[in-house]
Amino acid sequence: MALQKGGLLVGMAPTDRAPSLVISLPKATLPVQNWQLWATAAALSAAVTALLIKVGVQGVDAGLATLLRTVAVAVVLGLVLLASGRLDWQELSHLPPASLTALAVSALATGVSWFCYSRALQLGPVAGVAALDKLSVVLIAVLALVFLGEPLNLKAWLGVVLMAAGAALVAWV
């Protein structure tokens, strides 16, 4: 038996034991497919994040602060995926080993990055810390070329060099 109201489907799933409640939300699509818009939104979110971390890590262990942020991110992202119908456990169980390995190692790198960022914000000015953190753009340009074969043109490399110079000026001058 199932009841559909709007895009929400609620019903009972037969199992070997007792029936269980199944809630199926419609799969949502993200209408905006412009990477520059999403990257700009990420930059704005990162700026707000830096300010809030600077306030939040005062008098708190950087590791504990990172753990609290991680748990909050996991809960919020889980709810967003659930609400949009994109939380698919079956898809996760079919990921190729190379993808799982890359995602696991990237999670470790993210944890280290967030911990270092929190600790740096405890010790230094938010503008300087954020500027040095953005050196990741410079590093990824080089790493993407070396490991992924993604070249940049001369104008883009000039931008990378200027970003590095700008980070150095904000952080050390």
Residue 41 lies in a domain: no
SS3 label, residue 161: helix
DSSP string, 117-144: HHHHHHHS-HHHHHHHHTHHHHHHHHHI
Whether residues 117 and 141 fall in one domain: no
Global pTM reads 0.74
Q: Nearest Cα to 58, choosing from 129, 114, 122, 119? A: 122
**pLDDT at residue 24, rounded to an integer:** 54
Q: Which residues of the chain have pLDDT under 50?
A: 5, 8-13, 18, 20, 22
**pLDDT at residue 25, rounded to an integer:** 53
Whether residues 78 and 99 fall in one domain: yes
Domain count, the chain: 2
Whether residues 119 and 133 fall in one domain: no
**pLDDT at residue 62, rounded to an integer:** 94
Contact status, residue 85 vs residue 27, Cβ threshold 8 Å: yes
105, 123, 141 — which closes off a domain?
123
141 CB-near residues (< 8 Å, 6+ apart): 152, 156, 157, 160
Q: How confident is the model over 47-70, as pLDDT tens digits?
A: 999 999 999 999 999 999 999 999
**pLDDT at residue 141, rounded to an integer:** 97
**pLDDT at residue 92, rounded to an integer:** 83
**pLDDT at residue 16, rounded to an integer:** 52
Q: Nearest Cα to 73, choosing from 114, 102, 36? A: 114
Residue 21 lies in a domain: no
107, 123, 139 — which closes off a domain?
123
Q: Which residues pair with 4 in a beta bridge?
A: 9
**pLDDT at residue 32, rounded to an integer:** 75
Residue 134 lies in a domain: yes
Domain that holds residue 76: 63-123
